[in-house]
Amino acid sequence: MYRDSKIGEIYEGTYEIQKRVIARQIFGRDMTG
């Protein structure tokens, strides 16, 4: 069970990074944070 939750954390982290990358592509590189 602990292992599964750890995988979930990693997945959530990569999803968050993906959202930021997509947002940067849409809004341009001037946007930070």
pLDDT at 10: 78
What's the residue count for the chain? 33
Tens digit of each residue's pLDDT, the chain (33 residues):
777 777 778 788 888 889 988 888 888 766 555
pLDDT at 13: 83
pLDDT at 29: 67
pLDDT at 4: 77
Cα three-residue angle 32-29-24, rounded to 5 degrees: 75
Between CA 32 and CA 24 the distance in angstroms is: 8
pLDDT at 2: 73
Q: What is the pTM assigned to this prediction? A: 0.48
| Unique residue bearing structure tokens 């946007």 | 31
